Structure 1
Amino acid sequence: MTSPSPTPRSRRAVPAGVLGLVAATALVLSGCFPTPTAETEKDQGGSGTTSSGAPVAPEGIFAEEAMAEYVSQELQWDDCQDLDNHGTKLECATLKAPLDYEDPAKGNIEVVMARTMPAGNSAPSRHLLTNPGGPGSSGVDFLSWAADNVFSHEMNEEFRLTSFDPRGVQRSTPVRCLTDEQIDEQRAEPQSDPQDLDWDQALREAEEEVESCREKSGPIVDHMDTVSAAHDMELMRLVLGQEKLDYLGFSYGTALGSRYAELFPTHVGAMVLDGGMDPSLSGRELSAQQMEGFVSATRDWASYCINEADDCPFTGSVDDALKDIQQRLESLDESPVTSGGRTVNGVTWLDGFIVPLYDKDMWPTLVDAYRQDAVDGSPAMMLQLADLNYDRNPDGTYASNLVQAFAAVNCADYGGPAFKDELVGDYRALTEASPLFGRYFISTSLFCTAWPHQAENAPSAVKAAGSPDIVVVGTTGDPATPYRWSQALAEQLENGTLVTYEGFGHTAYGKSNCVDAAIEGFLIDGTVPADGKTCQS
């Protein structure tokens, strides 16, 4: 896959399974990238000093006595034990972080970090922290592939490329709610119309599932919000001994980066946010606008299929193609089919259909998958794409806790509907806006209604007053993070600079020499691109 990052993952409408309410319809990083194991020398990471040896002074809550043990810790870097070796030299360490930054005495969690090893004897002094998105995607798995396949030689020479599994994700005190078999069962369950929902019964089921999360995961379920993860990034900066935080975030990683900049503006170094999210939008607004992005991307793909692809299954116009897709979804909702002994309903089919929309290079794959389903009567390729979406292995195991972590972060950040009328209202508005996608993009969920902490940090615009220049990159044909989100984010930031990539797909780094030069020139040399700079595909 050429796209370096996943989406903020769209929500979908109400199936019988509760966690399925927030299951994703998006490409996940760990589902399509190989994962290397680093063979590295043991090293102790420095703590509390810059590359020149000057101390990094903690401020605010990080200067409090209760935080002293966290700020002064030394990271023990060693081989990454659970990565297959594909040539990239990585080393891993475990950061101890407070469970609750408002009360560090409550206990701690583990945040697993990874960084590249230099090819020569000397290591770059600058760390570039990066996050691939999600929420719920593993930064460790991302870096194991992306260090050599996304980042240039110049970036590897300048930086110790560094990433992490955010709190609750994969290796970092992970949140667990369901077994692999239970996830499969929920994915196979039919979709329910929220207008016919037994609200009281659904809430009871949601509460039972949340209790299962608590039993399997512990108190991390109370502290999965983006603000807490941004505080973890500040702790990383201090423990790595970096005077400023250099950062490259993709998709949801832009929400994490912009929130960090709002909290710690004077600690921002060189920051690039690729595939921007608008932090001022509610969950309902995000879903509605993201749905528009996928409708547009579907039209672009259908036009490509009709006018350029070999053996396109469509014979009419783009509008006819969209009607054909909608009819297929409706037929699967009414009469699911099986593939390899597994149920393929409308939700599962759409989970697969959406994946190739993230990258124009995958459009031919979607043509093949659609033709096999529509002409040959085999949904096997769509099911494989849907499994990629969920990070499901061929043997039925799930490679990560991505779906569960995605749900937990979104519940913490956006909450759920307070009443059935709220959910039904969302359903009606979205299905009227798009009969094709509307029922799959419900912006809230019953699962989040039962989540223990309801959106303590309400969505709000970020200004990052006092920060240096922050570069925001937006792609005009991005289905998952619509271009207007990047425009809004750059406008909100006191010192935001917008770079526009005129092309298709999710995020821009690695797809255009012009974009790459702008990003890398800024990160490496501090050269700020001209505001409004436009790059072609």
Structure 2
Amino acid sequence: MRMRVTAFQLALAAGAIVLIAGTLLFAPVRAATSLDWHACPEDAATECASLTVPVDWSHPDGGTIDIAVARKSTRSEDRIGTLIELPGGPGTSGVDTLLHGDRFSPDLHARFDIVSFDPRGVKRSHPLRCDAGLSAWPNLLPDAGGSIDDVHSYARRLADSCRRDTGALLDHLDSASVARDVDALRHALGEHKITLYGRSYGTMAGQAYAELFPDHLRAMVIDSVDDHSLDGPAFLAAEARAGRDTFGEFVSWCDRDTACSLHGTDIRARYTALFDRAERGALRDPQHPDRPLAALVLSRNVTARLYQPEWPALADDLRTLGDQPQQPNLPFPQPEPTGTPAVMSELIACSDWSFDIPDQARWQQLWADQNTNAGTLRAHFAWAAGSLCSGWPTPPANPPHLPRAAGAPPILVMNSIHDPATPYEWATAVTSHLPGAVLLTYDGWGHGVYGRNPCTTTTGDRYLIHLTLPPTGTHCAV
């Protein structure tokens, strides 16, 4: 029989839970704790366990969920401690990442136990469940007949179904709750201090951890950073500018490189024509020819190709779509091919971000701003999150605010100059907000910097192992 140690029991072992200045603080655990590790079914070389945590950390004696955890241990006598990876997405499984090949160097594996987890609401950790009948998104394009009232109505119906099928966890998917789960994991691992690496949306939980538990943080890398100080319009505008910048970099490459299958053509005009066809429902999904390819899905798919980036594949995608014969228009709504609501990332984002769109006029204005900021791309995938979250019936549990990380050790921030998802301007802002933080700039393209090349990897390893930050203003060339 396996024994679980709940995070609530850990807190009780430590003593009282206190409320200071409206922020829930948990006293450190003094008693030794442990997890029941066993070989993961998918890979015997990786260990798996589960940790029970409260659904609502402000009421830790209420309901609980199990958080799935995975670990790759080191046997080195030079072991430093535990390095916990904070999964991104939102909605990424950290257990899967560890099982199927993590991004960390052999040097880090030799010095740390590498641990990751499925965040609350994700895959093995009480996954978010909603009515599959709501897989058809509302029309999110004001210029194509979309109505913000319809979007808000859909958001309320979706929230009702998710609350019915998921339970109270729906209101506690925020990054601050994930950070508290991470500290419960630290307790269970028996570590006084932990080392953290967060990429993309994982940087949200990382910043929350530095704010809530600075005394238990040994070191932290936040790679491709979210700026949680932004309001809704600023968030949408920055994301759109990132899309314009990175799509422009793709176009520039295609103009100068004959390896591009669209070399010598007007790529911007081609994309504009495709977006217009998608708005009318006249573009087909190559993977599902009986379904339309929605305009925002087209934009999202293009942005996804900019993550690595995969420029040759993106050129081939646009060429294939442009070569489609003219098709009759298909009406809205346009269902996602998965048959289930493809909104996990949007719903988790609603727990951390605020978007105030009260009426059609404001939505139309923001759409015009989105088109201007995104340029040829017309929109960023963040538009869907902003629109849906503006109608979410409960306010974010972890609303935007400036980071308050007093007492945390100096943090290493990493970002590429041309990032399609977390703009470089966010990295510079977050670095300025965190005392002692240093920004490492990758002078290239894509989302995610650690592991890009020897410079980024060595710089990250030197900090994580030896606590040696690079000089301010350090750049890694492409």
Range of TM-score over shorter length: 0.7 to 0.9
* Distance (whole Å) between structure 1 residues aligned to residue 196 and residue 50 of structure 2: 19
**8 Å contact from structure 1 (residues 306, 312) kept in 2:** no
**8 Å contact from structure 1 (residues 261, 467) kept in 2:** yes
Which of 315, 318, 322 is residue 370 of structure 1 equivalent to? 318
Q: Specify the alignment match of 1:170 in structure 2.
A: 123
Q: Specify the alignment match of 1:406 in structure 2.
A: 345
Query: Secondary structure of 1:100's match?
Result: coil
* Distance (whole Å) between structure 2 residues aligned to residue 194 and residue 263 of structure 1: 43
Which runs of 5 or more structure 2 residues have no equivalent in the other structure? Answer: 8-12, 328-334
Instruction: Return the offset for 1:330.
Output: 0.5
Q: Specify the alignment match of 1:417 in structure 2.
A: 356
Which one-letter code corresponds to 1:173 in the other structure? H
Instruction: Return the offset for 1:213.
Output: 0.6
Q: Please, which moves more after superposition, 417-426 or 320-329? A: 417-426
* Distance (whole Å) between structure 2 residues aligned to residue 45 and residue 224 of structure 1: 22
Which one-letter code corresponds to 1:132 in the other structure? P
Q: Are residues 1:348 and 2:297 paired?
A: yes
Distance 1:367 1:219, change over 3 A: same
Q: Are residues 1:325 and 2:271 paired?
A: yes
**8 Å contact from structure 1 (residues 337, 343) kept in 2:** yes
- TM-score (ref. length: structure 2): 0.85
* Distance (whole Å) between structure 2 residues aligned to residue 332 and residue 195 of structure 1: 10
* Distance (whole Å) between structure 2 residues aligned to residue 239 and residue 114 of structure 1: 13
* Distance (whole Å) between structure 2 residues aligned to residue 57 and residue 69 of structure 1: 4
Q: Are residues 1:431 and 2:391 paired?
A: no
Q: Specify the alignment match of 2:217 in structure 1.
A: 268
* Distance (whole Å) between structure 2 residues aligned to residue 124 and residue 58 of structure 1: 30
Which runs of 5 or more structure 1 residues have no equivalent in the other structure? Answer: 1-41, 49-55, 380-386
**8 Å contact from structure 2 (residues 246, 418) kept in 1:** yes
Distance 1:447 1:286, change over 3 A: closer
Instruction: Return the offset for 1:155.
Output: 0.9
Q: Specify the alignment match of 1:126 in structure 2.
A: 81
Instruction: Return the offset for 1:312.
Output: 2.7
Identity %: 28
Which one-letter code corresponds to 1:97 in the other structure? V
Which one-letter code corresponds to 1:521 in the other structure? R
Instruction: Return the offset for 1:44.
Output: 8.6
Q: Specify the alignment match of 1:76 in structure 2.
A: 36
**8 Å contact from structure 1 (residues 284, 442) kept in 2:** no
Query: Secondary structure of 1:528's match?
Result: coil
Q: Are residues 1:99 and 2:48 paired?
A: no
Q: Specify the alignment match of 1:523 in structure 2.
A: 464
**8 Å contact from structure 1 (residues 416, 454) kept in 2:** no
Task: After superposition, give the CA deviation of every residue in 1:141-173 in whole Å (9 maximum; x if it has no partner).
Answer: 1122333xx211111111111111111111111
Q: Specify the alignment match of 1:460 in structure 2.
A: 401
* Distance (whole Å) between structure 2 residues aligned to residue 107 and residue 409 of structure 1: 20
Where does 1:45-444 land on structure 2 (aligned, <5 Å)?
61=18, 74-81=34-41, 83=42, 85=43, 89-118=45-74, 124=79, 126-147=81-102, 150-179=103-132, 182-183=134-135, 185-186=136-137, 191-193=140-142, 196-310=145-259, 312-316=261-265, 320-338=266-284, 339=286, 340-360=289-309, 362-375=310-323, 403-420=342-359, 421-440=361-380, 441-442=382-383
Query: Secondary structure of 2:475's match?
Result: strand
Which one-letter code corresponds to 2:399 in the other structure? A
* Distance (whole Å) between structure 2 residues aligned to residue 177 and residue 252 of structure 1: 22
Question: For the aligned residues, what is the CA RMSD?
Answer: 3.5
Distance 1:446 1:352, change over 3 A: closer
Distance 1:164 1:194, change over 3 A: farther
**8 Å contact from structure 2 (residues 162, 170) kept in 1:** yes
Report how many residues are paired.
458
Q: Specify the alignment match of 2:436 in structure 1.
A: 495
Distance 1:521 1:378, change over 3 A: farther
**8 Å contact from structure 1 (residues 417, 423) kept in 2:** no
- TM-score (ref. length: structure 1): 0.76
Q: Which of structures 1 and 2 has the larger relative contact order (alpha carbons within 8 angstroms, sep 6+)?
A: 1
Distance 1:370 1:58, change over 3 A: farther
* Distance (whole Å) between structure 2 residues aligned to residue 217 and residue 114 of structure 1: 24
Which one-letter code corresponds to 1:373 in the other structure? L
* Distance (whole Å) between structure 1 residues aligned to residue 2 and residue 101 of structure 2: 22
* Distance (whole Å) between structure 2 residues aligned to residue 375 and residue 477 of structure 1: 29
Distance 1:59 1:502, change over 3 A: farther
Instruction: Return the offset for 1:480.
Output: 1.2
**8 Å contact from structure 2 (residues 128, 170) kept in 1:** yes
